[in-house]
Structure 1
Amino acid sequence: MHSTEAPGADEAPGPDGIVPTRVKGDLKRDAPLAKLVWFKSGGTADWLFEPADLDDLVNFLGKLEPQTPVMALGLGSNLIIRDGGVPGVVVRLGKPFSSVEVKRECVVECGGGAPGILVASTARDAGIAGLEFLRGIPGTVGGFVRMNGGAYGREVADILVDCDVVLPGGDLVTLPVQDLEYSYRHSRLPDGAIVVAARFKGVPGDPEEIGAEMDRIADERENSQPLRTKTGGSTFKNPQGTSAWKLVDEAGCRGLTVGGAQVSEKHTNFLINTGEATSADIEGLGEEVRRRVAEKTGVTLEWEIKRVGRP
């Protein structure tokens, strides 16, 4: 991995609150983020850090000024990076954090950068059932642990044993599932905390049956969602007792456009970048959908997609 050598740690903090230090990983300033997110839009990160290993990450975060914003970035799904870019540091967990192993009965141990499909496939090969739904979550372990990701009637809260988290300031802690106080698409993890590993527990199962369920989930996603477009995944949380897409449809928003952004005609809880949409187009379209749904149905939709950065 590329190394960036900065001045010695005994010097004064540099611009943006970064403490000059040597890192083993890759540290870049004014790094473009559009290519790293599903929408393919948005500005730059003040700093983008891809740590070489856990020690590298802990040491780096421990040397940041306390007020420096820190954001973890996984596969870039369910995320709008605003056009003004992201202040502080964006941390991207790469291959060193992508391992998935089964070390004890029915428990899958995963790095924070591992994609859901790899976790589900590893569980299948080991005859562990109950994790099939991760095949349907477009993201990495760190993201869906933080957000209590879910699909097809299951969510992370159902399978998480515990997770390893680097807190702002560089402290590494292991948190049991109850400490995350999960609710729908939410946990109590503080801003700037980075999930670097997690352990999921399933039940014994037949690999062929597990594989068939994963195939069913993949086919259902392919048939119902605009997966081959520049999209961010499900845009709004489902209100209690109904589905967001139904309310969006009822409000007449199917195919609605703002600039280069469009409400998907295939699944109305997805926004898509038709080509050259700005993040302002995409977020503006989402807000217009929320306005129309509230006017038509009286329901105020909540964003599920995270929107970060400067307008």
Structure 2
Amino acid sequence: MSAPLPQVRGTYQFGAALKDLVWFRAGGVAEVLFRPADADDLAAFFAGKPAGVPITIIGVGSNLLVRDGGIPGVVIRLPAAFGKVEVDGLRVRAGAAALDSAVARKAADAGIAGFEFLRGVPGTIGGALRMNAGCYGSEVKDIFVEATAIDGQGKKHVLSAADMGFVYRKSGVPKDFVFVEAVFEGHGDEPAAVRTRMEELLARREITQPIGAKTGGSTFKNPPGAHAWKLIEDAGCRGLKIGDAMVSDVHCNFLINLGNATAAEIEALGEEVRRRVKETSGIDLEWEIKRVGVAGGES
């Protein structure tokens, strides 16, 4: 990196391997990996960073494919300090690095219903906010109250539901905003009843999804009026392989790394699935998994 980075209280790691930080267990390195100490440190970094330095935000990598050529510029990953979860009445305040499942369990213990679906959503609150994550008929927008984010100039923003612009698997927040925390609200119920519903959803997920596999979760968004998995199955893609990448035979909308798949193989498999679905149904599947970085050999 030609220009010096600003002094921070967090840490910089140069040439940081990312494959162990993403669920696919594939991909290249980060030119620089930055873990801020707190929200003020993150804001100071943005305010002082050199112009033109590319910034990429990652969480726990549950819905992310890092290409083999790695990610140029600075990759920001919020550490555990951003993972606090607090309850106040029927509201839950969660740091952006808090696991969705941890937030669901905290709400259940407090007798707050409405968060059960988060138990089945992999990843962190930051990613859930960015993509309006959901499953089994519920989405983040259903419990959302407000979120706090830092923009690319280091300014803090408190965002309402209208500001978020939630739609299916997407929010309308500018790409340079980094979420640091959010407030959600549910409704009261007996903790045991909430836990029971939550565990029922989790059991359903374990039966219908390739739990424990090296995967990035649901690969493609459901098109209007259709299910991606059904389109993929009808196109004959169940079990399809390219190298060590395979379409799951448990759930067709999951791509899995059988062991040593490259990011290029995983992405190529996804594109082949898209081609076959387009050929058989006329529908263009849209990637739900975020693909970042450059292909191997690019600079």
Q: TM-score, normalised by structure 1?
A: 0.93
Q: Does the C-alpha gap of structure 1 residues 107 and 86 become closer, same or farther in structure 2, counting only changes over 3 Å? A: same
- 1:57 maps to a residue whose letter is L
- 1:281 maps to a residue whose letter is E
CA distance in 2, matches of 1:122, 1:97: 16
Q: Which residue of 1 aligns with 2:76?
A: 91
- 1:78 maps to a residue whose letter is N
Query: 3-state SS of the aligned residue for 2:231?
Result: helix
CA distance in 2, matches of 1:22, 1:64: 9
**Residue 63 (1) aligns with residue 36 (2):** no
Q: Which residue of 1 aligns with 2:144?
A: 160
CA distance in 1, matches of 2:126, 2:10: 19
CA distance in 2, matches of 1:26, 1:84: 23
Is the 8 Å Cα contact of residues 6 and 49 (structure 2) preserved in structure 1?
A: no
**Structure 1 residue 282, shift from structure 2 partner:** 0.2
Query: 3-state SS of the aligned residue for 1:75?
Result: coil
Output aligned runs, 1:1-311, within 5 Å.
Answer: 15=1, 17=3, 19-103=4-88, 105-311=89-295
Give the root-mean-square deviation of aligned CA atoms. Answer: 1.0
The alignment-based identity, stated in percent, is 50
Deviations 1:162-200 (A, max 9, x none): 100010111111111110111111111222321000000
Q: Does the C-alpha gap of structure 1 residues 64 and 240 become closer, same or farther in structure 2, counting only changes over 3 Å? A: same
Query: 3-state SS of the aligned residue for 1:233?
Result: strand
Is the 8 Å Cα contact of residues 70 and 191 (structure 1) preserved in structure 2?
A: no
Q: Runs of 5+ in structure 2 lacking a partner?
A: none
Is the 8 Å Cα contact of residues 5 and 50 (structure 2) preserved in structure 1?
A: no
- 2:44 maps to a residue whose letter is N
- 1:271 maps to a residue whose letter is L
- 2:109 maps to a residue whose letter is D
Q: Runs of 5+ in structure 1 lacking a partner?
A: 1-14
Q: Which residue of 2 aligns with 1:10?
A: none
**Structure 1 residue 16, shift from structure 2 partner:** 5.0
Is the 8 Å Cα contact of residues 66 and 168 (structure 1) preserved in structure 2?
A: no
Query: 3-state SS of the aligned residue for 2:218?
Result: coil
Query: 3-state SS of the aligned residue for 2:217?
Result: coil
CA distance in 1, matches of 2:260, 2:102: 31
Is the 8 Å Cα contact of residues 161 and 199 (structure 1) preserved in structure 2?
A: yes
CA distance in 2, matches of 1:250, 1:21: 52
**Structure 1 residue 25, shift from structure 2 partner:** 1.4
Deviations 1:104-125 (A, max 9, x none): x211000000001110111111
Query: 3-state SS of the aligned residue for 1:38?
Result: coil
